[in-house]
Amino acid sequence: MPYQLSILGVYVPTVIVLCLAGIAVTWVVDCVLSRLEVYSHVWHPALLRAAMLAGICATLDLLAYHSF
Model confidence pLDDT, tens digit, residues 1-59:
667 878 888 898 888 989 999 999 999 999 999 999 999 999 999 999 999 999 999 99
Query: What residues does each domain of the chain span?
Result: 4-65
Burial of 14 (0-12, 13-18, 19+ CB in 10 A): middle
Question: For position 2, what pLDDT does the model report?
Answer: 67
d(CA 67, CA 32): 28
pLDDT at 67: 63
